[in-house]
Amino acid sequence: MVATAATSAFIPVPSPSAPDPGSKPKKLANLGGMKPKSISSGGLQVKANAQAPPKINGSSVSLTTPVETVKHEGEMSSSSSSSSSSPPPRTFINTLPDWSMLLAAITTIFLAAEKQWMMLDWKPRRPDMDMLIDPFGLGRIVQDGFVFRQNFSIRSYEIGADRTASIETLMNHLQETALNHVKTAGLLGDGFGSTPEMCKKNLIWVVARMQVVVDRYPTWGDVVQVDTSVGASGKNGMRRNWLVRDYKTGEILTRASSVWVMMNKKTRKLSKIPGEVRGEIEPYFLDSDPVVEEDSRKLQKLDDNTADYVRTGLAPRWSDLDVNQHVNNVKYIGWILESAPLPILESHELAAMTLEYRRECGKDSVLQSLTAVSSNGVGNLASHADIECQHLLRLEDGAEIVRGRTVWRPKYAKNFGTFDQLPAEST
Amino acid sequence: MLKVSCNVLSDQSQAITQCGFLGRGPILTRGHRRNAVVLRSGSGSSYKGPILAVVSDRVIGSGTGSGSGSLADRLRLGSLTDDGLSYKERFIVRCYEVGINKTATVETIANLLQEVGCNHAQSVGFSTDGFATTPTMRKLHLIWVTARMHIEIYKYPAWSDVIEIETWCQGEGRIGTRRDWILKDHATGQVIGRATSKWVMMNQDTRRLQKVSDDVRDEYLVYCPREPRLAIPEENSSSLRRIPKLEDPADHSKLGLVPRRADLDMNQHVNNVTYIGWVLESLPQEIIDSHELQTITLDYRRECQHDDIVDSLTSVEPVEDAELVSKIQGTNGSTAATENNEDLRQFLHLLRVSGDGLEINRGRTEWRKKHAR
């Protein structure tokens, strides 16, 4: 479970100015800010090697030269200001047609103005502008460098049975933005979210807890905008937050928050955050209000007696595995929902989910998914109130993989498509 | 046989676009279906003929303006080509679409082929509730179902690579239609894969196959290339080869596979792409570790429901010398290999319902040895 999602947890992005007067002053290099002169065209932010290294508490923190890992829409700009050691960019925009010169000129003009608009949390949609800046939707740093933003268009195969994006799709998008945030900020040590210092010490990020609240599910053809940022969680943990909006209307669709801890990948023991790593990541921590109200209720462990529904024989397929041959985090959610009773799935939609990750599993694992309906009564599944369920995903020998709690709200007017979804009743 | 699962257009857009592709005038589509991709694609030359005029209006689009067109249309990275006879779209490979080889999985590729097919259908105004049903088909409750799918991948893309897929469809004899794809690495322009698929028409209610009538054929042929255009034109292509049923007992098997909720489309049938995953399940680990999938061909025989249990069987298929010579390119000429050739492995597959053994799919896969990237 560790895998890609785990290590992609964080990614601070330094900013030239403090986001608000109350936050501690940090003298940071402008890793993420707008620097029109260092970008020839179309490229936004993240020219890490173009800046002085940030200074934390007077000591300078070296940044890796992330040129080879910086793949963004301004690839043409990287060729102008990149260091000599970068391998040829693998992706697009290496060989643009001639119109790119015109595009470059136009974009440069807009970039200066764009800088002002970046400060706002939300601004009127100008999709054509975004297409100039971020034509492939790779994402970019916004908001003084603390937030990474990426757009996703919902693809047809990401739609679930009720014609809206599945919860797995939403979680996949969160994972993708987290990893791209790491990469764009230049802190991708090994491709899985470990920073260079972490790689040296064989440390990886492991997700401990995840909370997601979905206000409305997007549907095929919708475009969502995902904003993500990181902050501290206690002394040795990190929190990553996401906010997903409808690109067109700005309406908040999903809010999520996750807590990560550091683990030694060889010993599999939890580790404190070493000073060198702290120096790499702390510049990126954003002190912000929690996006999701913390659900700190203890998650219960289910067993065969307390579970109402059990689904056994769940086995990972090849496509469930990441490069370490561990099961991708997001797949657990699908398995958890395998034992959710069909009447609930048909009449309700998943409104909120809290997950505690306990153990990872690999290709040869065989899992069992247990569900207990913990409120609203078992016999009353089709009622018009919210339903809460407890979940457990475990191996056949009983070893726990994930504990979870889900809250379901009734679907309204689902035959008319998602635009007629009424907001969930507030409790 | 399986349907590709796609989402329906809203009723309103369907009505408008139906009028559109019947050639009743571009005005109905103006301001409704715009495509901002014109910024990149550079397409938008003039067209001839009423129906093509509709297409051109859509492609030219109109820069900024009110958002009455679907936002995804405007942000979509795909568009019809200049002649309106094929559709191109670009996709970035996302991190969760990458598998154990650090490259996109074949399921990801298959999903993208499906996506671009749906988008093509939508861009020319066909409903995408099954697969590009024309109005006549909808009236008669006819849908397209996949009969055969053949995918060749020469170079798998990695995370955040951009691939450009071009797709088009054309008639195939009297009974079906085919859709072809060419995949290119957007950065280099290199062809990284090709695919072709064959579709037949089925009555949605009776689940029986039906011949393609002339009215239906005329409806969609407008959007197809006039001359036959094959993604895989070679005559000895394995996309044309018959797939025999593998003999009992199979060399390898994985029994008791069950559809997950995520595998089901809106009609509770198992999505096409899930079969690919199931076929691969019964391959031994050493093949997965040492080789990468070069070609997969699947014949779809029967649909699978959410409560079916599936067995996946695999057997080695000896590669005949003649084929081997044509397949192994760039080697030092060691063509004396028979089935012991380690660089190229070939397998036959069978997916069947666990209890009664009814055949769901047959398949063939070809694998090439992995090289360090």
Q: Does B348 have pLDDT greater than 90?
A: yes
Proportion of chain B above pLDDT 90, given as a percent: 32
Residue of B nearest to A179 (CA): B95
Q: Which of B269, B271, B272, B361 is catalytic?
A: B269
Mean pLDDT (whole number) for B163-185 = 89
Other CB atoms within 10 A of residue A96 CB: 16
* DSSP notation for A157-190: GGB-TTSBB-HHHHHHHHHHHHHHHHHHTT--SS
Cα four-point dihedral sign B36, B39, B43, B48 = positive
Contacting B residues, span 288-307, partner chain A, CB-CB under 8 Å:
288
Candidates B77, B160, B307, partner chain A, best to mutate (most A CBs within 10 A): B160
3-state secondary structure labels for all residues of A38-92: HCCCCCCCCCHHHCCCCEECCEECCCCCHHHHCCCCCHHHHHHHCCCCCCCCCCC
| pLDDT for the residue A281 | 85
| Strand A309-314, strand B310-316: pairing | unpaired
**Beta strands in A172-308, from DSSP E residues, in sequence order:** 203-214, 223-233, 237-246, 252-264, 270-271
Chain A neighbors of B90, CB-CB under 8 A: 92, 136
Other CB atoms within 10 A of residue A375 CB: 12
Any chain A CB within 8 A of the CB of B333? no
Which token pair is A299? 């998650």
Give the pLDDT band of residue B121 (cuts 50, 70, 90): confident
Min Cα separation A282/chain B (Å): 25
C-alpha–C-alpha distance, residues A16 and A32, integer Å: 8
Nearest to B95 among A91, A154, A179 (CB): A179
Alpha-carbon radius of gyration of chain A: 22
Nearest to B161 among A4, A91, A321 (CB): A91
Chain B neighbors of A90, CB-CB under 8 A: 158, 161, 187
Which token pair is B292? 């990468």
Q: Which of B120, B304, B341, B349 is catalytic?
A: B304
Any chain A CB within 8 A of the CB of B268? yes
Please give the DSSP secondary-structure letter assigned to residue B163. Answer: E
Active site residues of A: 324, 326, 361
Pick the residue with more confidence: B134 or A150?
Answer: A150
Any chain A CB within 8 A of the CB of B256? yes
Which token pair is A409? 């709200």
Single out the residue of A341, A337, A336, A374 nearest to residue A357, CA to CA: A336
* Residue B74 φ/ψ, nearest 5 degrees: -75, -30
Mean pLDDT (whole number) for B126-131 = 58
Which token pair is A139? 């994402």
Compute the residue count for chain A. Answer: 427
Q: Which long-range contacts (CB under 8 A, 24 or more apart) does A381-389 make?
A: A381/A341, A381/A343, A381/A344, A381/A347, A382/A343, A382/A347, A383/A410, A384/A410, A385/A410, A385/A425, A386/A348, A386/A351, A386/A410, A386/A424, A386/A425, A386/A427, A387/A344, A387/A348, A389/A340, A389/A344
| pLDDT for the residue A197 | 86
Q: What angle do CA B292, B297, B300 make, to 5 degrees?
A: 135
- Residue type for A349, please? E
Any chain A CB within 8 A of the CB of B240? no
Nearest to B161 among A90, A125, A153 (CB): A90
CB contact under 8 A, A157 and B5: yes
Chain A neighbors of B186, CB-CB under 8 A: 91-92
Give the pLDDT band of residue B206 (cuts 50, 70, 90): confident
Residue of A nearest to B271 (CA): A157
Min Cα separation B101/chain A (Å): 6
CB contact under 8 A, B77 and A247: no
Contact (CB, 8 A) for A86 and A153: no
Residue of B nearest to A164 (CA): B7
Which token pair is A413? 């007017």
- Residue type for A72, please? H
| pLDDT for the residue B188 | 94
Residue ranges in chain A modelled with pLDDT below 50? 1-86, 89, 96, 119, 121-123, 377-379, 413-427
Chain B neighbors of A176, CB-CB under 8 A: 94-96
- Residue type for A334, please? G
C-alpha–C-alpha distance, residues A269 and A260, integer Å: 14
Chain B neighbors of A130, CB-CB under 8 A: 75
Q: Which of B141, B236, B267, B306 is catalytic?
A: B267
| Strand A203-214, strand A252-264: pairing | antiparallel
Nearest to B107 among A125, A128, A319 (CB): A319
3-class SS of residue A312: strand
| pLDDT for the residue A301 | 85
Any chain B CB within 8 A of the CB of A341? no
Candidates A7, A8, A46, A91, partner chain B, best to mutate (most B CBs within 10 A): A91
Other CB atoms within 10 A of residue B329 CB: 6
Q: How far is CA B257 from the centre of its chain?
A: 23
Chain A neighbors of B99, CB-CB under 8 A: 318-319, 321-323
Chain A neighbors of B95, CB-CB under 8 A: 4, 8, 175-176, 179-180
Give the pLDDT band of residue B144 (cuts 50, 70, 90): confident
Helices B50-60 and B11-21 meet at what angle, rounded to 10? Answer: 130
3-class SS of residue B118: helix
Size of interface A-B (CB pairs under 8 A): 164
Single out the residue of A386, A79, A159, A143 nearest to residue A286, CA to CA: A143
| pLDDT for the residue A284 | 84
Beta bridge partners of A119: none
Reported as a single tens digit per residue, the pLDDT across B8-38 is 333 333 333 333 222 232 322 333 333 322 2
Reported as a single tens digit per residue, the pLDDT across B253-305 is 999 898 888 888 766 788 889 999 999 999 998 999 899 999 999 999 988 88
Chain A neighbors of B274, CB-CB under 8 A: none
Nearest to B42 among A99, A153, A166 (CB): A99
Contact (CB, 8 A) for B261 and A161: yes
Q: Does B335 have pLDDT greater than 60?
A: no
C-alpha–C-alpha distance, residues A333 and A347, integer Å: 19
C-alpha–C-alpha distance, residues B78 and B164, integer Å: 9
How deeply is A95 buried, as exposed, middle or buried, from its count of CB atoms within 10 A (0-12, 13-18, 19+)? exposed
Any chain B CB within 8 A of the CB of A345? yes
C-alpha–C-alpha distance, residues B371 and B346, integer Å: 18
Residue A196: how many CA atoms within 13 Å on its side-chain side? Answer: 13
3-class SS of residue A377: coil
Contacting A residues, span 214-253, partner chain B, CB-CB under 8 Å:
219-223, 247-248
Which token pair is A415? 């035959």
| pLDDT for the residue A190 | 66
Min Cα separation A292/chain B (Å): 24
Q: Does B7 have pLDDT greater than 70?
A: no
Chain A neighbors of B187, CB-CB under 8 A: 89-95
| pLDDT for the residue B321 | 56
Pick the residue with more confidence: A11 or B349?
Answer: B349
Answer yes or no: pTM beyond 0.80.
Answer: no
C-alpha–C-alpha distance, residues A369 and A279, integer Å: 41
Candidates B94, B106, B127, partner chain A, best to mutate (most A CBs within 10 A): B94
- Residue type for B231, please? A
Contacting A residues, span 42-81, partner chain B, CB-CB under 8 Å:
71
C-alpha–C-alpha distance, residues B280 and B262, integer Å: 18
C-alpha–C-alpha distance, residues B156 and A319, integer Å: 14
| pLDDT for the residue B373 | 52
Nearest to A136 among B111, B158, B162 (CB): B162
How deeply is B353 buried, as exposed, middle or buried, from its count of CB atoms within 10 A (0-12, 13-18, 19+)? middle
Contact (CB, 8 A) for A159 and A166: yes
Any chain B CB within 8 A of the CB of A368? no
| pLDDT for the residue A57 | 42
**Beta strands in B186-245, from DSSP E residues, in sequence order:** 191-203, 209-210
Nearest to B10 among A89, A318, A417 (CB): A417
CB contact under 8 A, B189 and A191: no
Nearest to A71 among B114, B160, B256 (CB): B160
Nearest to B39 among A131, A223, A323 (CB): A131
| pLDDT for the residue A118 | 57
Contact (CB, 8 A) for B186 and B202: no
| pLDDT for the residue B158 | 92
| Strand B209-210, strand B78-80: pairing | unpaired
| pLDDT for the residue A192 | 64
Any chain B CB within 8 A of the CB of A322? yes
Chain B neighbors of A219, CB-CB under 8 A: 7
Chain B neighbors of A153, CB-CB under 8 A: 72, 75-76
Any chain A CB within 8 A of the CB of B74? yes
Any chain A CB within 8 A of the CB of B372? no
First to last CA, chain A: 33
Please confirm, yes or no, whether B267 is among the known catalytic residues.
Answer: yes
Q: Which long-range contacts (CB under 8 A, 24 or more apart) does B228-231 make?
A: B228/B170, B229/B168, B229/B170, B229/B180, B230/B180, B230/B196, B231/B180, B231/B181, B231/B182, B231/B194, B231/B195, B231/B196
Single out the residue of B124, B168, B164, B68 nearest to residue A135, CA to CA: B164
